[in-house]
């Protein structure tokens, strides 16, 4: 019998689209946290000068990927692998909340500053004359960085939980996002 790659999720494992989105976002998050760490720990180094200018663009990309991911999970909601327990459901809820709120606050502050913003060579915000929109910049200043570091802690917890499951013999948790994708 011929095996083929499953695009949709099933109760047993995530399909190719969910996995692609998950691992693309993981890579983009690794990149954005490297850019932030280099900016604050190695200010003005060659690494900082290379990575920091990509921070906003990768942040926008993450926002786009998240919106596609939310739509895809909605379309697949009746056939996704179930959460292991309440803690996992809550943890995933917090991760999604952070993944939305952080780039949203970054973009809100960018808009409120009145400065133009383009990403990947495309204009995203044209900017405006006159005073900045104070409540937008204040919200971004107060919460973007704080929530950004909080999300990093949650991501470390998420990875630690998967490792713990593997140690306890529940390797299927990792395999449903990273194992074989073919259906027979």
Question: Does residue number 18 form part of the binding site for ligand HEM (CB under 6 A)?
Answer: no
Alpha helices in 46-133 (DSSP H): 46-51, 55-75, 86-113
Residue 128-157 contact track with ligand HEM, rule CB under 6 A, x = bound = ----------------xx--xx-x------
The DSSP secondary-structure symbol of 84 reads S
- Confirm if 103 and 65 have CB atoms less than 8 A apart: no
Q: Among 60, 65, 112, 143, indicate the residue that binds ligand HEM (CB under 6 A).
A: 60
- Residue 128's SS3 state is coil
Q: Report, in Å, the least distance between residue 11 CB and ligand HEM.
A: 30
Question: Does residue number 108 form part of the binding site for ligand HEM (CB under 6 A)?
Answer: no
Question: Does residue number 112 form part of the binding site for ligand HEM (CB under 6 A)?
Answer: no
Tell me phi and psi for residue 154, to 5 degrees: -65, -40
Question: Does residue number 32 form part of the binding site for ligand HEM (CB under 6 A)?
Answer: yes
Closest CA to 87 of 170, 9, 12, 157: 157
Question: Does residue number 36 form part of the binding site for ligand HEM (CB under 6 A)?
Answer: yes
Q: CA 55, CA 73: separation in Å to the nearest integer?
A: 26
Binding site for ligand HEM (CB under 6 A): 32, 36, 40, 55-56, 59-60, 62, 102-103, 106-107, 110, 144-145, 148-149, 151
């Amino acid at each position: 019998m011929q095996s083929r790659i499953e695009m949709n999720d099933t109760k047993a494992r995530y399909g190719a689209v969910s996995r692609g989105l998950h691992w693309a976002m993981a890579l983009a998050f690794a990149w954005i946290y490297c850019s932030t760490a280099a900016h604050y720990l190695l200010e003005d180094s060659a690494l900082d000068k290379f990575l920091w200018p990509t921070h906003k663009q990768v942040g926008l990309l993450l926002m786009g990927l998240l919106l596609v991911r939310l739509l895809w999970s909605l379309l697949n909601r009746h056939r996704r692998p179930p959460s292991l327990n309440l803690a996992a459901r809550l943890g995933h809820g917090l991760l999604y909340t952070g993944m939305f709120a952080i780039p949203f606050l970054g973009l809100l502050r960018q808009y409120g500053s009145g400065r133009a913003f383009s990403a990947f060579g495309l204009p995203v915000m044209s900017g405006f004359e006159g005073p900045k929109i104070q409540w937008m910049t204040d919200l971004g200043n107060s919460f973007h960085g704080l929530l950004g570091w909080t999300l990093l802690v949650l991501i470390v917890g998420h990875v630690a939980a998967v490792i713990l499951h593997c140690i306890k013999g529940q390797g299927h948790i990792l395999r449903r996002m990273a194992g074989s994708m073919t259906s027979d």
